[in-house]
């Protein structure tokens, strides 16, 4: 069972974890991406996330489906990504998966967050005291 | 035909608007569309990557575009 969301509201991590609970799952693995106070040594004030919503939701679902194909023992997968303005410490993304045993839960969780970063149509702009940059835009 | 192209992130900022209408010959390829846009907006050519999405999927260079497609320009993504 796959649960995907893209939201401009704060992510309720505890609620996200509950969505992957399963009687057959002995392992629940979670990745929480939070806003860091520095980027390549430069103090960060805030981030702004922008999304191409329909494609981001579609691609997030595809990534989750690919994980289920690769690890058929996956019971449940939840991916929630935030958009809008975020400040230091805010949760930007939560990936949670449940599996019977732990090894596959680590692997699937890592696959999902790594692939999300490569394909999902979400853009992050970092704001510093003295300027701003679209992350990864230039070589 | 007229293609409507949605713009996001730095591509939206470079062009200065969130959507573009481009007139193109029937059967215009993704590659040709990109070449035209890079010529008109040279800053697009300086990005680490620039993809085209058609109906919520990444499109290959050789794919052909139609007026009915939902087209978007995808600068380097940076979610997570």
Is residue A135 in a domain? no
CA torsion A68-B60-A136-B74 (nearest 10°) is: -100
Domain containing A84 equals 2-128
- How near does any CA of chain B get to the CA of A114, in Å? 9
Is residue B80 in a domain? no
CA angle A112, A118, A121 (to 5 degrees): 100
pLDDT tens for each residue of B11-68: 999 999 999 999 999 999 999 999 999 999 999 999 999 999 999 999 999 999 999 9
In 3D, which of A136, A25, A30 has the Cα closest to residue A80?
A30
User: What is the edge-to-edge ordering of all strands in the sheet holding A91-99?
Assistant: A2-7, A76-82, A91-99, A27-34
pLDDT tens for each residue of A121-134: 999 999 999 999 99
Query: Nearest by CB to A50, which of B9, B47, B53?
Result: B9
Is residue A139 in a domain? no
Q: Which two tokens stand for residue B49?
A: 């990557």
In 3D, which of A39, A5, A18 has the Cα closest to residue A134?
A39
Share of chain A above pLDDT 90, in %: 99
Q: Which residues of B touch A131 (CB under 8 A)?
A: none
In 3D, which of A98, A84, A135 has the Cα closest to residue A16?
A98
Query: Nearest by CB to A137, which of B48, B58, B79?
Result: B48
State how far the Cα of A15 lies from the Cα of A78, in Å rounded to an integer: 11
Compute and round to an integer the Cα radius of gyration of chain A: 16
Q: Which residues of A touch B77 (CB under 8 A)?
A: 117-123, 136
Is residue B43 in a domain? yes
Q: Do B76 and A136 touch (CB under 8 A)?
A: yes
End-to-end CA distance of chain A: 38
Question: Residue A99 sits in a domain of what CATH number?
Answer: 3.90.1170.40
Domain containing B24 equals 2-74
Question: Residue B19 sits in a domain of what CATH number?
Answer: 3.10.20.30
Is residue B79 in a domain? no
Is residue A81 in a domain? yes
Query: Nearest by CB to A123, which of B6, B9, B48?
Result: B9
Q: Strand pairing of B57-58 and A131-134?
A: unpaired
- How near does any CA of chain A get to the CA of B55, in Å? 8
pLDDT tens for each residue of A58-103: 999 999 999 999 999 999 999 999 999 999 999 999 999 999 999 9
Is residue B54 in a domain? yes
Domain count, chain B: 1
Residue A40, pLDDT score: 86
Is residue A7 in a domain? yes
Reported ipTM: the value is 0.96
Is residue B7 in a domain? yes
Q: Which two tokens stand for residue A92?
A: 């930007």
pLDDT(A47) > 90: yes
**Closest chain A residue to B72, measured at CA:** A52
The mean pLDDT of chain A is: 97
């Amino acid at each position: 069972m796959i649960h995907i969301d893209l939201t401009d509201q704060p992510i309720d991590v505890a609620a996200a974890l509950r969505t992957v609970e399963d009687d057959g799952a002995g392992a629940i693995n979670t990745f929480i991406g939070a806003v860091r106070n520095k980027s390549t040594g430069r103090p960060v004030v805030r981030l702004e996330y922008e999304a191409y919503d329909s494609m981001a939701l579609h691609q997030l679902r595809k990534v989750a489906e690919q994980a289920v194909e690769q690890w058929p023992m996956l019971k449940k997968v939840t991916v929630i990504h935030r958009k809008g303005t975020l400040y230091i410490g805010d949760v930007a993304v939560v990936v949670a998966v449940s599996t019977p045993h732990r090894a596959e839960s680590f692997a699937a969780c890592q696959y999902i967050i790594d692939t999300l970063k490569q394909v999902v149509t979400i853009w992050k702009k970092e704001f510093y005291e003295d300027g701003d940059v679209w992350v990864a835009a230039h070589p | 035909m007229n293609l409507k192209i949605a713009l996001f992130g730095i591509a939206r900022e470079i062009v200065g608007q969130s959507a573009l209408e481009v007139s193109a010959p029937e059967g215009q390829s993704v590659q040709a569309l990109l070449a035209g846009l890079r010529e008109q907006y040279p800053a697009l050519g300086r990005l680490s990557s620039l993809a085209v999405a058609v109906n919520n999927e990444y499109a290959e260079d050789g794919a052909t575009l139609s007026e009915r497609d939902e087209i978007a320009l995808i600068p380097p993504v940076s979610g997570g």
